[in-house]
Amino acid sequence: MDCNTCDTAPAIVINKPEVVNVNLTITTKAKEMLDSAFDGDMSHALLVGVLSGGCSGYMYDLQIVESTDQDCQELSVDGFRVLVPNASSHLLDGIEIDYVDRMMGGGFKINNPNASSSCGCGESFA
Amino acid sequence: MGIFQLDAYVLIIQGKDRLSFIDGLSTNKVDGDCSTVFTTTAAKIIDLVDVIDMGDFIAIVGHQPYKENLIQHISKRVLNQDISIADISANNSVYLSTEDVDVVDKITKRNTWRGWLLVAPNSVSLEADMTEEDFSEYRVANMIPHQGHEITPNVHPLACGLGDLVHEAKGCYIGQEILARMRSRGRQGKELVRLPNPVEGATTIGVNHSLAIVRLKSGE
């Protein structure tokens, strides 16, 4: 392979999806769990993102952060500061953040109207 | 036996997330040179590729007719990652050698499960001395599936002899849930076999034997 060709090779244009102004909701149960997780420190924010991969193509990424270097839109939802990366905003508009209790351990669950399918564990969607 | 010229594309992927990006989308553990398979959510094959770690970037080598589907598949999954993709297919030719051969520095050589993969810039001439029939005979003798024959968008990797490229413990990737379930339940449906001629429904026909994908009997 001649690396000189690599520098001049035609780049494949990756079409960035249009940035969407995200609306999202948080269920009562999820609010209770977030209250507990934040422990009153509202200087932090809930980062709701998407990673590529997972069984179905995309994976949710929920984090409590002070800040992020990602290009995000900042929302205020029920008193929580929520950050949504613009790069994945088209996948997250309209989601509901829920919390479910299960015998095998509970966790946050995203109900996503943009998802056509999801994997068994619920962390991945297409 | 010799050197066969593949109908191949070469994409280069740059950016600090290049290995983790490919790892998250394909069946094998990708942390350097390897072969791996991109699959759909239904675990059907998009393409088998060889990953060549060149240090500052990786090259992925796949089957030319499957290129557009692969590009479409991976490019829409670039979100926040540091990734750029370029197509250097027009500047390079790809060969498979059945033996380890000495090559000039400009030719990139990697030992793969199919043989020695050679990526040569167009400025370097390399003689391909194997015919299509020779290559088929080599593949039949060594049970090597190939795109357009055994490896098609209609099958999953376990059915066409690519089970060794489906990592059992790497974690989630697209199609993983289905492949893991097939393995755990022992139900992969079909498998690649080599049978003496004549073979009904052969995917590759050799002189004395042929390859075919056959349905496993219940419980196998």
What CATH number did the domain enclosing B70 receive? 3.30.70.1400
Residues 121-150 of B with CB under 8 A from A: 121, 123-124
Domain count of the fold of chain B: 2
Whether the CB of B208 is below 8 Å from some CB of chain A: the reply is no
Decide if A14 is inside a domain. Answer: no
Decide if A17 is inside a domain. Answer: no
Domain count of the fold of chain A: 1
Check: CB of residue B149 under 8 Å from CB of residue B203. yes
CB atoms within 10 A of CB B188: 16
Decide if A13 is inside a domain. Answer: no
The domain in which residue B189 lies consists of 132-215
Decide if B118 is inside a domain. Answer: no
Decide if A1 is inside a domain. Answer: no
Domain containing residue A85: CATH number: 2.60.300.12
Decide if A47 is inside a domain. Answer: yes
Q: How far apart are CA A50 and CA A62, in angstroms?
A: 8
Those residues with Cβ within 8 angstroms of residue A68's Cβ, 6 or more apart along the chain or in another chain: A47, A83, A85
Decide if A16 is inside a domain. Answer: no
Residue of B nearest to A85 (CA): B80
- 3-state SS class at B107: coil
Confidence (pLDDT) at A7:
64
Residue type, A84: V
What's B73's DSSP letter? H
Measured at the alpha carbon of residue B186, what is the angle toward residues B181 and B192, in degrees to the nearest 5? Answer: 105
Residues B68 and B7 placed together within one structural domain of the fold: yes
Q: Do B77 and A57 touch (CB under 8 A)?
A: yes
Check: CB of residue A110 under 8 Å from CB of residue A54. no
Decide if A50 is inside a domain. Answer: yes
Confidence (pLDDT) at A5:
59
Residue of B nearest to A118 (CA): B41
Check: CB of residue B188 under 8 Å from CB of residue B216. yes
> In terms of Cα–Cα distance, which of B59, B214, B74 is closest to A2?
B59
Chain A residues with beta carbon closer than 8 angstroms to that of B107: 1
10 Å CB burial of residue A73 (0-12, 13-18, 19+) is middle
Decide if B64 is inside a domain. Answer: yes
Q: State what percent of residues in chain A have pLDDT above 90.
A: 47
Decide if B81 is inside a domain. Answer: yes
Decide if B220 is inside a domain. Answer: no
B167 token code pair: 């990592």
Decide if B40 is inside a domain. Answer: yes
Q: How far apart are CA B82 and CA A52, in angstroms?
A: 12
Residues B142 and B209 placed together within one structural domain of the fold: yes
Angstrom CA distances, B150 to A25, B18, B48, B80, stand at 48, 29, 11, 35
Which of B84, B119, B174 is facing A57, going by the closest CB pair? B174
Confidence (pLDDT) at A43:
86
Confidence (pLDDT) at A124:
73
Which of A6, A11, A88 is facing B57, going by the closest CB pair? A6
Q: Do B25 and A53 touch (CB under 8 A)?
A: yes
The domain in which residue A77 lies consists of 23-125
Decide if B101 is inside a domain. Answer: no
pLDDT tens-digit series, residues A45-83: 999 999 888 877 888 999 999 989 899 999 999 999 999
Going from the first residue of chain B to its last (220 residues), give the mean pLDDT of each consecutive group of 10, the final group possibly shorter.
96 94 95 97 96 95 98 90 91 96 94 97 92 98 98 97 94 89 87 96 97 79
10 Å CB burial of residue B84 (0-12, 13-18, 19+) is middle
Whether the CB of A103 is below 8 Å from some CB of chain B: the reply is no
Q: Which of B27, B79, B166, B184 to mutate to test the interface with A (most CBs of A within 10 A)?
A: B79
Check: CB of residue A24 under 8 Å from CB of residue A75. yes
Q: Is the pLDDT of residue A15 over 80?
A: no
